[in-house]
Amino acid sequence: MTDVLAERAPAKINLTLHVLGRRADGFHELDSLVAFSGFGDTLRLLPGKALSLAVDGPTAQAVGADGDNLVLRAAHALLARREGLTTGAFLLTKRLPVAAGIGGGSSDAAAALRLIARANGIAIDDPVLLDAARATGSDVPVCFRPCARRMAGAGERIGEALDLPPFHAVLVNPRVGVETARVFAALALPRGEGVAGAEHPPLASRMSRAQWLALLGAARNDLEAPALGIAPVIGEALALLRGAHGCRLARMSGSGATVFGLFDNRMDASRAARMMLRGRPTWWVRPALLR
């Protein structure tokens, strides 16, 4: 009997996101520091001949299981680059909110590539996997080997793994989907135009927790303002987090609507999560450890 293979698909959090300009090809030039949560989706693969996808889990209703799903798109991208690979039946257990700025679909797609690699004995550093990731979506390359690192360009340039100290956090999504394309459109940057003063603060080779917090505080998410114009409830979530005891930094992730708060310890983060759920019981709230 063929063994079922499984991979975690953790949430991707943009701790910073600087928009440096818009390229001639229409894509925006970004510089972002990302980290990953221990919480996320789970993707399983039963290797076999027929490629398929089924979805379950608490947020499954918001996910399409058709050919547009990023899991299947990633599989087809890899099959187009290497013939004769074994795929099979995927089962995605969806826990992350959709269209939430935390790379849920991209992380699922990256997990699919890792699973197909395992099923076919492909080395994790085989360039074909990263090539397929780039072809699938902008956030898929950084999700392929999930750990703290810089991503740049339109997501195609990935930095080395960073020695980021673990941060206790609270992730909050007010159950509002925000379309990434609409947020970027609200920036209204003409093609070929750069943004003055948009540079990301430099990283040192080794930094203490206090230095990391200072760097994060000096940085920003340039998509936060346009996203607030589309979904003002993001501002409400940020204000609640910033008012929580022990919150050192609160910011939106990606293009929203998920926001995060960073805390010094698990107790403060857990207390803040309970406070958020008491006040906004319909929101998606999760304490998390980012690394």
**Catalytic residue set:** 12, 139
Mutual orientation of helices 70-81 and 104-120 as an angle, nearest 10°?
Answer: 40
Kindly report the three-state secondary structure assignment for every residue of 14-69: ECCEEEEEECCCCCEEEEEEEEEEEEEEEEEEEEECCCEEEEECCCHHHCCCCCCC
- Other C-beta atoms closer than 10 Å to the C-beta of 131 total 15
Cα-based angle 264, 212, 201 (whole degrees, multiple of 5): 145
HSE-CB for 150 with a 13 A CA cutoff: 15
> Any idea which residue has 């910033």 for tokens?
242
CA distance 101 to 96: 10
